[in-house]
């Protein structure tokens, strides 16, 4: 098992380098003036340009720039914005918020999605089944910003049940609605995945055996069926935490959440390249680590998989 982890970590390195280099190139190496619009409508003063060029190594070619950046990164230095704010600090403030949001979203989608999936998977065709299928279809089809907008307007402005935006501390309770919006697409998917998994495993041979053994129904479902059906669902939920952290830009924008998504979006609009690259580096690390953890967990869930 240890050797497997080591091997996977080594495999991650080229991918990490590849993705971060890619985004680095996209942000810094595209032709055009990187300082457009930075100083308002007028072009920036030459001393400013000279100082910035020096600071961000803009005269070096891309690869050198990248290496210098990566070098600094290894010491924990994410660089600074044009207005000399340390990017590392900004990220450290925003990341926990996004993490909390992602956790809330995954929790909601897990509870609702899995329950719906189990009920419909066991029961088969019927009213509940059709209801769930249709509603999940809707959730899949509605773009997140539409869902978010509608909920914010209806619940927040019209009916005034909830505060339409989230405060800067972003308490857990405030994150429930945004979490629901963020996770709505995945929730639809989780319920379908659970439903399919249960419906398929329901007809497996070992289920027939359990029945023939005279085991009570609640054990046949609760012990035999669930454990087997859970495997793909848990795997998905795990990776979703990583995905949702990086994919919350729209939700954070609509609800005013000061998370990583908003940080990077503002960074792009304001052309703060260091913020963009810094956030992406963080997200890539999270994504790769989460995937590795899920892979390892898979071996725990399914004894047929053993890594040597």
Partner 1 sequence: MEPGSLADPLLEVEDLFVEFRTQDGVARVLNGVTYHVRAGETLAVLGESGSGKSVTAQAIMGILDTPPAVITGGEIRYHGENLLAVSDERRNDVRAEGIAIIFQDALSALNPVYTVGFQIEEQLRVRLGMSRRDARARAVELLDLVRIPNAARRVRQYPHEFSGGMRQRAMIAMSLALDPEVLIADEPTTALDVTVQAQIMDLLKEIQVERRMGLILITHDLGVVAEVADRISVMYAGRIVEHADAVSLYRNPGHPYTAALMDSLPRLDQKGSTLNTIKGLPPSLLHIPPGCPFHPRCPMATDRCSTDVPRDHGLGFGRTSKCHYAEELVSRV
Partner 2 sequence: MTDPNTAAAGTVTTEGATYVTAAEHQQVAPGKPRSLWSDAWRDLRRRPLFIIASAVIILLVIIAIFPSWFTSVDPKHKDLDFSRVPPSGDAWFGYDLQGRDVYARVVYGTRWTLLVGVAASVLTVLIGAFFGILAGYFGGWVDGLISRIGEIFFGLPFVLGAIVILSQVRNAQVGGAFPIVSAVVSSIAVLSWPVAMRIMRSAAVAAKQQDYVKAARALGARPARIIFRHLLPNCLAPVLVYGTIALGAFIGVEATMSFLGIGLHDPAVSWGVMISDARNYVRVAPHMLLFPAGFLTLTVLVFVMLGDAVREALDPKLR
Task: Look at residue 228 and give the partner it binds from partner 1, partner 2, none, a contact being a CB closer than 5 to 8 Å depending on partner kind.
Answer: partner 1
Contact indicator for 277, 69 with CB cutoff of 8 Å: yes
In this complex, which beta carbon is closest to partner 1, that of residue 85 or of residue 209?
209
Q: Any long-range contacts for 182-185 (C-beta under 8 Å, 24+ apart)?
A: 182/101, 182/102, 182/105, 182/144, 182/244, 182/247, 182/248, 182/251, 183/104, 183/105, 183/106, 183/108, 183/109, 183/240, 183/244, 184/109, 184/139, 184/142, 184/144, 184/147, 185/139, 185/140, 185/144
Is residue 268 at the binding interface for partner 2, with CB under 8 A as the rule? yes
In this complex, which beta carbon is closest to partner 1, that of residue 35 or of residue 307?
307
Please report how close the Cβ of residue 1 comes to partner 1 at its closest, in angstroms: 17
Q: Rounded to whole angstroms, how far apart are CA atoms 139 and 98?
A: 22
Which span (117-125, 177-185, 214-222, 292-300) binds partner 2, by CB under 8 A? 177-185
Please report how close the Cβ of residue 14 comes to partner 2 at its closest, in angstroms: 6
Is residue 201 at the binding interface for partner 2, with CB under 8 A as the rule? no
Return residues touching partner 1 (CB under 8 A).
203-206, 208-216, 219, 223-224, 227-228, 301-304
Q: Rounded to whole angstroms, how far apart are CA atoms 25 and 23?
A: 5
Please state at what angle helix 87-123 crosses helix 260-269, rounded to 10 degrees.
130
Binding mask 202-241 for partner 2 (x = CB under 8 A): ------------------------------x---x--xx-
Which span (41-49, 114-122, 159-167, 274-282) binds partner 2, by CB under 8 A? 274-282
Q: Contact positions toward partner 2, by CB under 8 A?
A: 14-16, 18-19, 22-23, 26-27, 30-32, 36, 137-138, 140-146, 149, 153, 157, 182-183, 185-186, 188-189, 192-193, 196, 200, 232, 236, 239-240, 243-244, 246-247, 249-251, 253, 264-265, 268-269, 276, 279-280, 283-284, 287-288
């Amino acid at each position: 098992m240890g050797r497997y982890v080591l091997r996977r970590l080594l495999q991650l390195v080229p991918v990490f380098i590849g993705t971060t280099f890619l985004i680095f190139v996209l942000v810094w190496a595209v032709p055009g003036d990187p300082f457009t619009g930075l100083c308002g409508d007028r072009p920036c003063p030459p001393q400013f340009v000279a100082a910035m060029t020096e600071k961000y190594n803009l005269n070096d070619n891309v690869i050198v720039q990248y290496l210098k950046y990566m070098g600094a990164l290894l010491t924990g230095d994410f660089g600074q914005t044009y207005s000399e704010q340390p990017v590392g600090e900004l990220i450290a403030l925003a990341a926990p918020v996004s993490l909390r949001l992602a956790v809330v979203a995954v929790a909601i989608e897990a509870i609702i999605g899995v329950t719906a999936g189990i009920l419909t998977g066991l029961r088969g065709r019927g009213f509940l089944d059709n209801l769930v299928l249709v509603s999940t279809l809707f959730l899949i089809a509605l773009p997140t910003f539409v869902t978010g907008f509608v909920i914010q307007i209806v619940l927040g402005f019209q009916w005034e049940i909830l505060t339409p935006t989230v405060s800067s501390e972003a308490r857990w309770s405030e994150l429930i609605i945004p979490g629901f919006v963020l996770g709505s697409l995945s929730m639809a998917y989780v319920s379908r995945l659970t439903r399919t998994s249960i419906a398929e495993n329901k007809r497996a041979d070992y289920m027939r055996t359990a029945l023939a053994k005279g085991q009570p129904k609640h054990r046949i479902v609760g012990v035999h069926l669930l454990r087997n059906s859970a495997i793909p669902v848990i795997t998905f939920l795990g990776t979703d935490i990583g995905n949702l952290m990086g994919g919350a830009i729209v939700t954070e924008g609509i609800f005013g959440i000061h998370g990583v998504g908003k940080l990077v979006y503002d960074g792009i609009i304001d052309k703060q390249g260091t913020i963009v690259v810094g956030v992406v580096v963080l997200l890539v690390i999270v994504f790769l680590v989460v995937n590795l953890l899920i892979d390892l967990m898979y071996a725990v869930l399914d004894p047929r998989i053993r890594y040597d």
